[in-house]
Amino acid sequence: MAAVDGHNLPALFPEPWASEWGEDGYGLWMAFEYRGVRHALRWIPPGSFWMGSPLDEAERRQDETRHEVTLSEGFWLGETTVTQALWEAILGENPSQFKGAERPVERVSWEDAARFIEELNTALPGLGLSLPTEAQWEYACRAGSETPFSFGAGITPEQVNYDGNLPYSGGEKGLNRQETVAVKALPCNRWGLYQMHGNVWEWCQDGYGDYPPGPVTDPGGVEGGDGRVLRGGSWFFGARGCRSAYRYLREPGARNDGFGFRLARGRMGQTGRPVRSPGGPP
C-alpha cells in the first residue's frame, strides 16, 4: 500500500495512548504497550471491494455470494493476531496449547475474546478496541486483491501455515507443521498485516448469516445469527479454508487450538495530518 493521502487519513494520529507511531511502505501504524508488551495496529483506509468469491473460484462455498461493499470510514487493525504475551499481560493466564510468547493465543472462544477486550480497554482508557466486522476483516485480508488469496491464485506453506497435505485446487503438497508459528514468522500482505491466511482462525464481531444480494455500505453483519464468524483458516485446515472469502462459524463459547483473534479500532475525532513526528520503527 502506498502512503495514505490527505483524504484517507485517520481521525487523529497519533492517539494519546500510542507509545510508538510512524509511517512506512505499508502505511501508518501505531503501537501501544502494556506491562512491557508491545502491540501494533495498522491504518486501513476506507474504500470499496468485492466481498465473497466469484462463481468460477475453485473450491468456493455457496455462502460466499459476491457483492460490493463500501467501508466509508477507515479503521485500525492489529498487524498480528493477539499474542500469548499480551493475553498473559492482561489476564494473567495462558490457555494456549502451543506455548510461546510470540505465538498467537489460541483455545479462546468469542466470549473469551470479548472478555479480554473489555479488560484491555479498561486498562488503557481511550483505546476503544473491538473485534473487526466480517467485512472489515475480508477487506483488510484482500489488501486490494481479487484473487483467492492476497498472495495470488494459490499459496504455499512458505507463505501460510496450513496443512500442506491439503493443497489448493490441485497444487503441490507441502509442509504440515501441525502447530502454530510466531505471529511474524511468515510474510505479511501488501497492507502490512501478518498471517491473515492460516495459523489460527480469527473471530469476527458478526453473527453468521446470508450476505445481502446487492451493494452495501458499512455492513455490521447479523446480530446473533446461527453462530459467530471465524475467518482465515488455520494450521490444521487445508488451503481451501485459508481463502480470503472462506467463512466458518462456531457457537460463541467454542474453543480449540486453532481459534484466535485480531484487534480492531474504529475512527474517532477529526481528520487531520499527524501532529507528532514518527516515534520509532514498526
Question: pLDDT tens across 153-170, in order?
Answer: 999 999 999 999 999 999
Residue 256: the pLDDT is: 96
Q: Specify the fold of 20-265.
A: paralog of FGE (formylglycine-generating enzyme) (3.90.1580)
Residue 272: the pLDDT is: 31
Q: In angstroms, what is the C-alpha Rg of the chain?
A: 18
Of 48, 47, 49, 43, residue with least CA distance to 3: 43
Residues of the chain with pLDDT under 50: 1-6, 268-282
Domain positions in the chain: 20-265
Residue 7: the pLDDT is: 59
List all residues 6 or more positions away from 123 whose beta carbon is below 8 Å from its beta carbon: 34, 90
